[in-house]
């Protein structure tokens, strides 16, 4: 009998976890946030793979997870395939493809993510695999993860505007005519391609509106619970092994005041427990 493991580099995956536990409350969950080593975004693919491997091993071996969700786009982009190969008898799912499936319904899509996710080109690749006619524009948003980890909402606003501004200029226009704000080619959807970003969803909505970029926000906390439900329906051999005591455990590799406050805000009485991965 087994639990569902959810992994992120820090606290970002907690937003997805909150949504999953609300939609599928009967199962037992273990969240692991590698808060000691966050952010993963600026790190090399090899280091993201090494860190992810340690977390995945911990969740399978020490926590007896029957299924792990990498609720981290950087890990999904850089390490998911490798982990699936290294743990062939285990189930490991990512969060990137479900968001790409949603994005593929639009003609022009903006994606923001960590430097690593953007450099991997995973979002454009996965979106175009589903619909090759989608135009995908990417922009890294490196400051948002540290700001989310620090619980700094207000300070994030100017950065959000700065990271969204390039999407204003992604229009079809004559060469050399320079950037044209609010042009006809503006994006129809914005993928929040990092699980930390939904923490600032409200700020994103306001920024999109004030910049006139427009577009639907594609946020993984609104997508993953349904995808997981569907996955478990299609895989009864996994579903029937899951324990059902409505337990949620939160593990972190560094316990700070901000993490304690954020887990209290989102999960009430559940206290983060300090663990070591090495």
> Least separation, in Å, of the C-beta of 63 and ligand DGL?
20
Q: Which of 196, 198, 207, 215 binds ligand DGL (CB under 6 A)?
A: 196
> Least separation, in Å, of the C-beta of 184 and ligand DGL?
31
If the CB atoms of residues 10 and 98 are measured against ligand DGL, the closer one turns out to be 10
Residue 9 interacts with ligand DGL (CB under 6 A)?
A: yes
Q: Which of 114, 120, 139, 263 binds ligand DGL (CB under 6 A)?
A: 114
Q: Confirm if 190 and 217 have CB atoms less than 8 A apart.
A: yes
> Least separation, in Å, of the C-beta of 143 and ligand DGL?
11
Residue 74 interacts with ligand DGL (CB under 6 A)?
A: yes
Residue 147 interacts with ligand DGL (CB under 6 A)?
A: no
Bridge partner residues of 72 (DSSP):
none
Phi, then psi, of 236 in degrees rounded to 5: -60, -25
The residue written with tokens 């699936």 in the block is 84
Residue 194 interacts with ligand DGL (CB under 6 A)?
A: yes
Is 65 a catalytic site residue? no
The encoded tokens of residue 97 equal: 């493809």
Is 72 a catalytic site residue? yes
Range in contact with ligand DGL (rule: CB under 6 A) among 154-162, 180-188, 190-198, 208-216 = 190-198
**CB 179: neighbour CB atoms within 10 A?**
12
Give the neighbor-by-neighbor strand order of the sheet with 92-94. Answer: 92-94, 65-70, 3-8, 29-33, 248-252, 273-274
The encoded tokens of residue 117 equal: 């996710």
If the CB atoms of residues 78 and 186 are measured against ligand DGL, the closer one turns out to be 78
Range in contact with ligand DGL (rule: CB under 6 A) among 35-43, 55-63, 150-158, 163-171 = 35-43
3-state DSSP helix/strand/coil percent for the chain, to nearest 5? 45, 15, 35
Active-site pick, 19, 70, 72, 134: 72
Q: Confirm if 191 and 99 have CB atoms less than 8 A apart.
A: yes
31/263 Cα distance (integer angstroms): 11
Given the rule CB under 6 A, which residues bind ligand DGL? Answer: 8-10, 12, 38-41, 72-74, 114, 117, 145, 194-196
């Amino acid at each position: 009998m087994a639990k569902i493991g959810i992994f992120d580099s820090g606290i970002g995956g907690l937003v997805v976890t909150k949504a999953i536990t609300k939609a599928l409350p009967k199962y037992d969950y273990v969240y692991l946030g590698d808060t000691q080593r966050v952010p993963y975004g600026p790190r090399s693919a090899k280091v993201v793979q090494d860190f992810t491997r340690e977390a995945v091993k911990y969740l399978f071996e020490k926590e007896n997870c029957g299924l792990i969700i990498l609720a981290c786009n950087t890990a999904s982009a850089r390490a998911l395939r490798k982990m699936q190969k290294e743990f062939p008898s285990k189930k490991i799912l990512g969060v990137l493809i479900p968001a790409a499936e949603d994005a593929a319904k639009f003609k022009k899509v903006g994606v923001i993510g960590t430097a690593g996710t953007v450099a991997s080109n995973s979002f454009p690749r996965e979106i175009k695999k589903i619909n090759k006619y989608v135009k995908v524009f990417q922009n890294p948003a490196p400051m948002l993860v540290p700001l989310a980890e620090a619980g700094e909402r207000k300070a994030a606003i100017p950065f959000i505007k700065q990271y969204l501004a390039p999407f204003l200029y992604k229009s079809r226009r004559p060469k050399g005519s320079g950037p044209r704000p609010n042009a006809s080619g503006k994006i129809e959807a914005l993928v929040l391609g990092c699980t930390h970003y939904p923490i600032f969803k409200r700020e994103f909505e306001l920024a999109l509106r004030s910049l006139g970029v427009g577009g639907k926000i594609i946020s993984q906390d609104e997508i993953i619970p349904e995808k997981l439900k569907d996955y478990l329906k299609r895989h009864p051999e996994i579903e029937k092994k899951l324990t059902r005591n409505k337990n949620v455990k939160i593990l972190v590799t560094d316990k700070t005041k901000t993490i304690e406050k954020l887990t209290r805000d989102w999960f009430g009485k559940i206290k983060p427990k300090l663990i070591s991965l090495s």
